[in-house]
Structure 1
Amino acid sequence: MLQQLSVKNFAIISSLELEFQKGMTVLTGETGAGKSIIIDAVGLLTGGRGSSDFIRQGASKCTLEGLFALPEHPELAVLLDEQGIDQEENVLILQRDIFTSGKNICRVNGRIITIAMLRKIGEFLVDIHGQNEHQELMNSERHLGMLDDFGDNELHKIKLTYTTAYQEYRQLEKKVRNLQNNEKAFAQRIDMLQFQSNEIAEAKLQLGEEEALIDERNKLANFQKIADALAGSYEAINSEESSSLDNIAYAMNELATIEMLDPDYQSISETVQNGYYQLQEASADLARHLGQLELDENRLDEVENRLELIRQLKRKYGESVAAVLSYYEEITEELAENGLLDGKADELEQILVEKQQQVEKIGNQLSAIRKKAAATLEKSILDELKGLYMERTLFEVRFLEQPEVVLTEDGLDKVEFYITTNPGEPLKPLVKVASGGELSRVMLALKTIFSKTQGITSIVFDEVDTGVSGRVAQAIADKIYQISSESQVLCITHLPQVAAVADYQYFISKEIIADRTETRVIMLSGEERTKEIARMLAGSEITPLTMEHAKELLNMAQKEKR
């Protein structure tokens, strides 16, 4: 349920804040005052298509914000959880900013989401119906979806089963057709992947191998330089003629005789001692490395060849050994998958035929359940139309015959609504025979039925009562009020009968402030509401008689509601 709406710099609205209650609320006022602008704001707030044209002249952006009571709907709860949207306080605060640059920023409970996600969430909150909704009835392609919306859990469950099976069938069909149409290209790719896989596998690459080989190559390439440096260093330290260690040992012993005489002498003596022992260690390391030093002239060629192989593989398959190995895993997986398909086109075609038969079987089950739902929908619509003074109407959900079975995403059926409002006349497609006023009533009948099953918390009617008057207008008023017992209803109307049955009434007007047009909204009650009903009855001139008529209309509405 929509509890609060805040609008800033939207069309001719500079700033507006409204509160809404349960039940039925009507918005009335002169044509062009901005009633539909408020409904447009609700539509955009719940994910409708918007543009910078909605921004008030001179502003850099418009801001729409709405506070909704959180509906108890499992699918919505899952959707909000997936988006990380907090649900602890059982409210949803939707906000949408539209900038002159065309950028949109959408938030739900402070979390930024996409417009597409806002639209998904909005579908659980508000259902907006305007005069253009009649066009939905006039599009026979939508009739099957309306029937499915009316269906019970059994229908929804079997339709989900069908949809899953149909998608699997289409995926398999695509794979088979690709295999049939591209057998040569498929075979060439498999050969290429097999060659690449073998080439990488035979190389037996190891992570870190290239770095180790480069280090080894550097040592092998500089063997003589390393040998000379090691030998020269060892000779300098351990020369028989002038051993550096012997000389340092002599100095160390001499300093040891005087180190107790002065702290400085002791420091120098310790430094020389440390140097002596470090040189002893270095001498031992030099001797060990010299003993291990051995030139393998063939090993350098082996290392160079191995590095060249790695370089070639990197040039073909990746920038590093790790990238080459990653690519190897990818093509191995693809080969494993395609290995199941290779040479099995006939087998797959047979599986496809079996899958098609399975989909047809589920589709026939769906059709049978749909026909039961259609019979119930027909009866429900006729019952609702009786209350709208269309008691002689005949209505039928007709399943159209098709020359052959055609699998579609929605099943095997093609459905169209047929109607006749004149006794003795044959039923004809609704899209060809219904007038504007009749369409309004058929749509209202559908919405009365659906409001009990869809669980939408707020329903908006934007002048759906256009083209009717008299007792039909009163019947429509009663029907809209009936819907408000199941869902909150916001309704724009020019009919006094509809306005009179509402629980709350807002009056929308325009005024000029500082040479700018502003939309003004006030809640009507008491005498003010009576005057507005009288204006809707009589037009510009309100007489005592029209005031009495307005009071009578309001009193009758209250009695009827009680």
Structure 2
Amino acid sequence: MLTHLSIRDVVLIEKLDLGFSPGLTVLTGETGAGKSILLDSLGLTLGERASGGLVRAGAAQAAVSASFEVPSAHPVHDLLAEQGIRLDDPDEPILLRRIVTADARSRAYLNDQPIGVALLRRIGALLVEIQGQHEQMGLADQSTHLDLLDAFGVDPALRNAVARTYRSWIEAVAALTTARAEMETAAREEEWLRQSVEELATLAPRENEEDDLAALRAGLQQSERRGEAIAAALAELTPRDRRAAGPAAALRAAARALGRLLPAPLDPGSAQTASPQQARAQDALTALEKAEEALAEAETMLSRLASDSDSDPRTLEETEERLFALRAAARKHGVAVPELPELLASMQARLAALDSGNARIAQLEARARDTRAAFETEATHLSAARETAARRLEAAVTAELRPVKLERARFLVSLLPLDPEAWTIRGREQAAFLIAANPGQPPGPLAKVASGGELSRLMLALKVVLAGRSPVATLVFDEVDSGVGGATASAIGDRLHQVARDVQVLVVTHSPQVAARGETHLRVSKYLRQGRTETLAEILSPAARREEIARMLAGDTVTDAARAAADSLLGTDEHA
């Protein structure tokens, strides 16, 4: 419910802070005192259109905030969650704030978080309903009528069954639509699909194969380079031309040539010794013989290395061919090589779906028919319950029309069948509350047929019947008693008081009979301060309230008789 309204620089109001209590609050005051300014200010916090004309003369901007106590289970919390707005505590008050500048620009806030005006309007619609002479919010909105009718007299289990079967039907239709689209797409590309599957199946890509092949290729390339180095070394030791002398032959030739320069070996018993030159020649010959032996050993070792090498040019060639084939296939299909196995599986599944598509389509068509039939069965039960509830609601509202001076009016609940494409999770029809304000007049929508005062009284009658069946916890009636008085005004006051047992009610009234029924009485008045007219609103004490009701009864001059009549009205209120 609304707990606090703060207004700054709106038209004639410079600064005003009002607290509100549960039950019925009446707002009174002379015509032009500024009661409409209070409602316009509240409307700003509920997302109504902003105008620069609302800004008080000389002020740069107007600001209004409204605080609401909302239970944690209230639908507004679902709306906030849907919009990604979280409150620190679900039970903390909701503070709606609107700032309007003189050039009609506006900003909206929820608990100091900036929000859009469209969201503000949705939030406001869940918190407050305003029924006025010139504008109605809430019951005049036909989109709310079906839910109100169901809340009035339809078993929730019927609605739940319809919602459940509707979701199943929609899911089945969606699956069928998707399958048909996939079937059509697959049929258009069947030839390409079969060719691609054949190519990929022949290629048979394996998981992680690219990495394995790349590693194997690198190893084979390294082995090949090692074999080439060994072969090159052997080639240097072994001439390609057999007639050419290699290093070994050159060493042997050098040894023979040097040997011819040396004398025959000396007799061991001879006293003759070799000359120094002969000794050095002998050392050189010995070195040549060792070099020949070392060269032979090196050649042997290189030959063994060549025979032990695992270099296989054919294996390397096959590895590269496989790797390049995988990469070419990946480029062709626009995927990475590791994705080729998954692509093949996907294409095979599409082919399988194409091959078995007709059977699957038939199954999905049967499921769609069955789920639609289930929905229609449950919707038929719901429609019958709604028809019964509609007649009961008509009777209940009609009984409330006579006391509020609408005895000649007829209230009707129309259930309009929807075309199948317009069926929803709520069923196969929409509801509309209609009114024929006078005999012989055809019934029409509430907001178009009834006058402002008639519409407000009709809304009051509806609220009496539907009290407690809407999540909206604050109702505002603007001059619901316009054009009536006496017993009718008393009846309106009684019904406002009755509705206020379930929800908070604020009513702007010129009727003393209605004012006397309020639990809280706010008087709106104008006064001059420093040459400027300002609007003030104050909660009246019991004595001030008696005087205000007497003024409403007598006019400008309050008489003792008027005070006595006020006491009578208030006494009636006190002993009700």
TM-score range relative to shorter protein: 0.5 to 0.7
| TM-aligned CA distance change 1:99 to 1:378, over 3 Å | closer
- For 1:556, the aligned partner's letter is L
Q: 2:565 — aligned with what?
A: 552
Q: Counterparts in 2 of 1:411-422, with a 5 A limit? A: 411-413=427-429, 415=431, 417=433
Residue of 319, 329, 347 corresponding to 1:302: 319
What does residue 488 of structure 1 align with? 504
Aligned residue runs from structure 1 range 377-526, under 5 A: 377-391=393-407, 395-399=411-415, 408-409=423-424, 410-413=426-429, 415=431, 417=433, 425=439, 428-431=442-445, 434-508=450-524, 520-526=536-542
Q: CA deviation at 1:147?
A: 2.1
Describe the shift of the 1:419–1:105 C-alpha distance in structure 2 as closer, same or farther (beyond 3 A): closer
1: CA distance, partners of 2:207 / 2:87: 48
- Paired residue for 2:276? none
SS at 2:397 equivalent: helix
Q: Within 5 Å, give how 1:71-220 maps onto structure 2.
A: 71=71, 73=73, 85=86, 90-96=91-97, 106-107=109-110, 124-131=126-133, 143-152=145-154, 154=155, 156-170=156-170, 172-173=172-173, 184-185=184-185, 187-188=187-188, 204=205, 206=207
Query: What are the superposed Cα offsets for residues 420-470 of structure 1, whole Å, 9 maximum, x if unpaired?
Result: 666xx5684244865544333222111112223335332222344444444
Structure 2, unaligned runs of 5 or more: 233-304
Per the TM alignment, residue 360 of structure 1 is displaced from its structure 2 partner at its CA by: 2.2
- 1:119-178 CA distances to partner (integer Å, 9 max, x unpaired)? 6665554333334566977777765454234234x1x33123223433443454466578
Contact preservation (8 Å) 1:210, 1:307 = no
Deviations 1:335-367 (A, max 9, x none): 898888545545544444433332221121012
Shift in CA distance, 315/491, structure 1 to aligned 2, threshold 3 Å: farther
Superposition TM-score, scaled by structure 1 size: 0.67
Asked if the contact 1:35/1:492 (under 8 Å) is kept, the reply is yes
CA gap 1:30/1:392 in 2 versus in 1, 3 angstroms: closer
Q: Does the Cα contact within 8 Å between 2:35 and 2:524 map onto a contact in 1?
A: yes
Distance 1:551 1:344, change over 3 A: farther
Moved more, 17-26 or 491-500: 491-500
SS of the residue aligned with 2:68? strand
TM superposition shift of 1:77: 6.7
Partner in structure 2 of residue 275 of structure 1: none
User: Quick check: 1:501–1:554 contact (8 Å CA) kept in 2?
Assistant: no
Q: 1:204 is paired with a residue of what secondary structure?
A: coil
1:18 matched to which residue of 2?
18
Amino acid at match of 1:94: L
Letter in 1 for 2:5: L
- Against the structure 1 CA distance between its residues 440 and 128, is the aligned structure 2 distance closer, same or farther, given a 3 Å change threshold? closer
SS at structure 1 position matched to 2:372: helix
Secondary structure (helix, strand or coil) at the match of 1:544 reads: coil
Distance 1:150 1:492 in 2: 28
1:387 CA drift (Å): 2.9
| Residue type at the aligned position of 1:357 | A
Matches within 5 A, 1:352-363: 352-363=368-379
Amino acid at match of 1:92: P
Following superposition, the deviation at residue 556 of structure 1 comes to 0.4
Write the letter of the residue equivalent to 1:71: P
Q: Which amino acid aligns with 2:323?
A: R
Counterpart amino acid of residue 385 in structure 1: L
Query: Could you tell me how far apart the structure 1 residues matched to 2:396 and 2:361 are?
Result: 51
TM superposition score normalised by structure 2: 0.65
Aligned letter for 1:447? K
Q: CA deviation at 1:482?
A: 1.7
Provide the C-alpha distance between the structure 1 equivalents of 2:534 and 2:409, rounded to a whole number of angstroms.
46
State how many pairs are aligned: 495
2:387 paired with 1:374: no
2:381 counterpart (340, 353, 365)? 365
Which whole-Å CA distance do the structure 1 matches of 2:87 and 2:418 have between them?
52
**1:559 corresponds to which letter in structure 2?**
T
Which residue identity lines up with residue 25 of structure 2 in the other structure?
A: T
Structural RMSD (CA) = 5.2
> What's the secondary structure of 1:501's corresponding residue?
coil
Query: What SS does the corresponding residue of 2:93 show, helix, strand or coil?
Result: strand
Query: Unaligned 5+ residue runs, structure 1?
Result: 233-287
Change (3 A) 1:307 1:169: same
* 1: CA distance, partners of 2:16 / 2:120: 22
Report the Cα distance in structure 2 between the residues aligned to 1:548 and 1:137, rounded to whole angstroms.
40
